[in-house]
Amino acid sequence: MMKYLSTSSILMVVLVLFLSVKTTAQEISFGKNGIIKIDRGQGNISAWLNGQEIASNITSSLEIDGKTVKSSQYTSRSYSNQAYSDALGKGRKHVIKLSGVGLPNLQQVIYTYPGHNYFVMQLVVTGENLKTNHIIPIHASLKAGLENPDLTTLIAPFDNDTFISYEAKSWAQTDQSISAELGVLYSNATRNGLVMGSLQQADWKTGIKTQKQNANAEMSAICGYTAYELTRDRLAHGFLSGNTIASAKVLFGYFPDWRLGMEEFAKAVKANQTRVVFKWNKPTPIGWNSWGVMQEKISQEKAMKVVDFFADSLKNFRNDGVCFVDLDSYWDNLVQHEDYSKLKAFADYCKSKGLKPGIYWAPFTDWGFAAGGDRKANGVDYNFSEMWTKIGKGYHDFDGARALDPTHPGTLQRIKYMIGKFKACGFEMIKIDFLGHAAVESDHFYNAKIQTGMQAYRFGMDFLLQELDNKMLVYAAISPSLATAPYVHVRRIACDAFKSINDTKYTLNSVTNGWWQTHLYDYVDGDHVVLGTESYETNVSRMLSAIVTGTFICGDDFSQHGPWTERAKKLFQNQEVLAVLKDGKAFQPVEGALQKEASNLFIKHFGNKKYLAIFNYNKTAQEIPIHFERLNIAGSFVEAKELISGTPYHIQNHTTIKLQPEQAILLQVSSSH
C-alpha cells in the first residue's frame, strides 16, 4: 500500500535537504565581483567573475611514492578560513583539507583579496618522510573567452638564451602549448585574457600547460616541470622532501585586458619575492658595452679611446649626468698573471672623465673545460673538475661553457676572489651572464641540503650578492626570466641584439610579450644598440627599440672613426628622447603579434604625456593603421611631435601613418580634440 507524507513531514524533508546542500556548498569572494564555488561533498571547484563562469572542475594532484594522487579521489573534505595578510594585501586564507584511506593528507589553499580580481592557489601535502618532484596545485577547465576566433596562447621562455623568442600561437591551430612560469590565453581583438602564473621560483621550476580537451581548453600549473627545449635541463626536476611539501603559489585570473593582467602578475611575483639587491635610487642607467662590436679585440688603448669619445664627443649622452662604460667579455686581455693594474687604470680613467666604469663576469661557468679539468680556478685551491655540476654520467655543457655547482666551496671561493678584484679596481657596475647555468637540475649538489636547480640558483645568487656588498649596479644578461628579479637592478629583455632591423624586431618581440617585466625589475634593457654602417632609418629604429624597452646601452667601436661616430653624435644626444627614459619603464604593446613577430605600436604614459613609438620592420614602405580606442586616446584627432626629426603630426582617428622601409618614429602626443 502506498503511504503519503503529511505536509509537515514534507516540509521537514525539504528543510533537511536544504541544510544538507547548504552545509556542503561554499562560496567565497575575490576582487570586486569574483566568486569561487566549492562543493565540499564532490570536491568540485569553479570560479566566476561578474556572473560569468571562467573556470570549472578545478582540481589538484601530485606524484608521490611513484603514484599519482588526485584531489578528486578523496572522500573526506573540510573547509575553514581565516583573515590573512601578506605582501599582496589583506584578504582571507581558505583551506580545504582532504583525507582518505591510504592517501596522504592534502590541503588545497586558496588566497583571496578584495583588491585583486584574481585568486592564488597552492597545494600542500603533509605526512612523514614525503618526497615528490611533481605537484599540480591547479588544473582548470577554461570557460571564458573561448568563443573568440582570434584566441591566442602565449609561450614564454624560461630564460633569454639561444636567441629564443616569445611565441604567440593561434589557438585554433594549436592542440597544446607549454610555457615557463606563466601562461596566457587571450583575444587580441577584445583583449580579454586568462592568466595563470607561478608567484614563487625559489624551489620549483613551473610549467604552464594549455591544451585542448574536446571543444574546451584546460590549463595546468606543473611544479616540477623540466624539458631541454624550455628549461635547458637534461634531467627530471629534483625532488623535494620532508614532512610538509608545498607547491608554488599560482595566480589565476580573467582580465578585461590581458596586458593589465600580465602587469598584475608581475607585481604579484615581485611582492612574493624577497629583494636581495640593494634599492636603486639613482638615475636610469645608460651607457656603452664593448660586446656590440669590439668583442675580443679589447685592449687598454681601445678602452681609453672609448672613454675619450664619450667625454669629448658625446658629452650630452647622459641621464642626470650619469653614463656607464662597460667592458664585456675579454676584459682579461688587460690582465696578465693576475695583475689587475691595467684594469684598475681603466676604471680610474673613467672616473677622472666623469664616467662610471663597468665590468662583466659569468660566475657559474667554466669556459675552458675542453682543456681538461685539472686547471686551478682563479684564486682557489680547487680544480675546475671538482666544481663542475654533475648531470647523470656527465656534465652540463651549454653555450660552449660547462656549468659550475653553485653550492661547491670552490665556486664560492672563486666568486669571492673575483668580486674582490673587481671591487678593488673600483668598478661601479657589473654585468653578470649565463646565470641559467646555476639553475640546472643535478644528480646531487655539493651542499646536500640543496635539492633542486632553483634552490641551487638561489644559493649561488645569494652568495654572489653578499660578496658584491651593495657596491655596484647589477645587470643580468642571460638569466632566468622571473627568478633573477630579487638579485639585479637591470635585466636584458632578450638575447644578444646588434644592428639590423631583424635585431630590432627580435628585441621588440620580447617587449611585445614580456614588457610586464618592467614591473618586476627596476629596469629591463634591450641590449647594446649598434649603428655600424646600416641606413639612417635602421639606426633610428635600433635606438628607439632601446628607448621603448626602458634603458639605453650602445655598442659601436668608438675607439675608431666611422659612420657610426657622426650618427651617434646626432642621435644619442637628443635630450627630448633621453627624457623618455627618466622613469626607466618600458612601453606597453598596443597589439599582440602572432608567432615570433612584434607589435608595430608601443605606447607609454609618463606623467601627463603620452609617447607613441611606431615601427616598420619591412624592407618596403608600410601604412600603419592608427585607432585611438586601441591607444586609449580620446577625440577625433591629435597633435603630436616626432622627437627625432622635430616634425609636427596632425593625426586623425582611424587613419594610417606611412613609414619608409625599416623606419621608426617616436611621437609625443601633446593634445587631442
Helix H, strand E, coil C: the string for 378-400 is: CCCCCEHHHHECEECCEECEECC
According to DSSP, the β-strands at 206-213 and 216-223 are antiparallel
Alpha-carbon distance of 326 to 287, in angstroms, equals: 8
Which cell goes with 250? 599560482
Q: What is the pLDDT of residue 216?
A: 84
Strand positions, DSSP E, 240-346: 240-246, 250-255, 286-289, 324-326
Neighbours of 33 (CB within 10 A): 12
Alpha-carbon distance of 66 to 59, in angstroms, equals: 20
DSSP label at residue 485:
G
Q: Are 268 and 251 in contact (CB under 8 A)?
A: yes
Strand positions, DSSP E, 459-521: 473-476, 490-492
Task: Point out the residues of the chain with pLDDT beneath 70.
Answer: 1-24
- Provide the CATH topology of domain 286-587: TIM Barrel (3.20.20)
Alpha-carbon distance of 124 to 143, in angstroms, equals: 26
DSSP label at residue 169:
E
Side chain identity, residue 88: L
DSSP label at residue 276:
-
Q: What is the pLDDT of residue 16?
A: 33
Alpha-carbon distance of 451 to 25, in angstroms, equals: 39
Backbone angles phi, psi at 237, to 5 degrees: -60, 145
Q: What are the tens digits of pLDDT across the range 328-386?
A: 999 999 999 999 999 999 999 999 999 999 999 999 999 999 999 999 999 999 999 99
Please enumerate in sequence order all residues whose Cβ is within 8 A of that of 138, keeping only pairs 6 or more positions apart, or say none. Answer: 58, 59, 60, 121, 123, 196, 220, 221, 250, 252
Q: Are 510 and 165 in contact (CB under 8 A)?
A: yes
Q: Closest Cα to residue 531, out of 323, 288, 366, 364? A: 288
Q: Are 659 and 665 in contact (CB under 8 A)?
A: yes
Class of domain 25-272 (CATH, top level): mainly beta
**How many helices (DSSP H) and strands (DSSP E) are in the chain?**
13, 40
Q: Closest Cα to residue 364, out of 275, 458, 494, 448? A: 458
Neighbours of 38 (CB within 10 A): 22
Q: What is the pLDDT of residue 24?
A: 67
Q: Closest Cα to residue 248, out of 149, 378, 99, 109? A: 109
Domain coordinates of the chain in residue numbers? 25-272, 286-587
